[in-house]
Amino acid sequence: MFEGLKALPQDPILGLMMKFREDTNPDKLDLGVGVYKDEQGNTPIMESVHLAEQQLLITESTKSYIAPAGTILYNQRMRELVFGADHVVLKEGRIASAQTPGGCGALRMAAEFIQGCNADSAVWVSTPTWANHIPLLGGAGVTIKEYPYYDYEQNNVQFDAMLASLEAASAGDFLLLHGCCHNPSGADLNQEQWQAVTELCARKGLIPFIDMAYQGLGSGLDEDAYGVRLMADTLPEMLVATSCSKNFGLYRERTGTLFIVAGNAEQAANAGSQLFNKIRSHYSMPPSHGAAIVETILSDTGMNQQWQEELQAMRQRIQSLRKMLVQKITATGIDRDFSFIEQQFGMFSFLGITPQQVAQLQRDYGIYIVDSSRVNVAGLNDDRMDYFVNALVEVLRRS
The one catalytic residue among 30, 37, 124, 246: 246
Q: Are 145 and 343 in contact (CB under 8 A)?
A: no
Distance, CA of 80 to CA of 237 (rounded, Å): 18
Residue 140's CB is within 10 A of a number of other CB atoms, namely 19
Task: State pLDDT tens for residues 195-249.
Answer: 999 999 999 999 999 999 999 999 999 999 999 999 999 999 999 999 999 999 9
Name the CATH architecture for the domain at 10-44+316-398.
Alpha-Beta Complex (3.90)
- pTM of the model as a whole: 0.96
Task: State pLDDT tens for residues 89-102.
Answer: 999 999 999 999 99
Q: What is the CATH number of domain 65-299?
A: 3.40.640.10
Residue 337's CB is within 10 A of a number of other CB atoms, namely 12
The one catalytic residue among 30, 211, 224, 278: 211
- pLDDT of 173 > 90? The answer is yes
Residue 290's CB is within 10 A of a number of other CB atoms, namely 24
Where are the domains positioned within the chain? 10-44+316-398, 65-299
376-378-381 Cα angle (round to 5)? 115
Local confidence band at 14 (pLDDT 50, 70, 90 cut-offs): confident
Local confidence band at 399 (pLDDT 50, 70, 90 cut-offs): confident
Confidence at residue 192, expressed as pLDDT on a 0 to 100 scale: 98
The one catalytic residue among 124, 130, 194, 307: 130
Q: Are 128 and 149 in contact (CB under 8 A)?
A: yes
- 107 backbone φψ class: left, alpha, beta (φ>0; ψ -120 to 50): alpha
Give the contacts of 10 (CB within 8 A, at least 6 positions apart).
Answer: 18
Measure CA 120 to chain center. Answer: 26
Task: Tell me whether residue 19 is one of the annotated catalytic residues.
Answer: no
Confidence at residue 393, expressed as pLDDT on a 0 to 100 scale: 97
Task: Tell me whether residue 28 is one of the annotated catalytic residues.
Answer: no
Measure CA 379 to chain center. Answer: 16
Residues in a beta bridge with 256? 100, 243
Task: Tell me whether residue 211 is one of the annotated catalytic residues.
Answer: yes
Describe the strand order of the beta sheet including 174-178 as a list of residue ranges. 95-101, 255-261, 238-243, 207-212, 174-178, 122-127, 143-148
Question: Of the candidates 72, 90, 93, which has an alpha carbon nearest to the alpha carbon of residue 81?
Answer: 90
Task: State pLDDT tens for residues 76-127.
Answer: 999 999 999 999 999 999 999 999 999 999 999 999 999 999 999 999 999 9
- pLDDT of 13 > 90? The answer is no
Averaged pLDDT for residues 139-165: 97
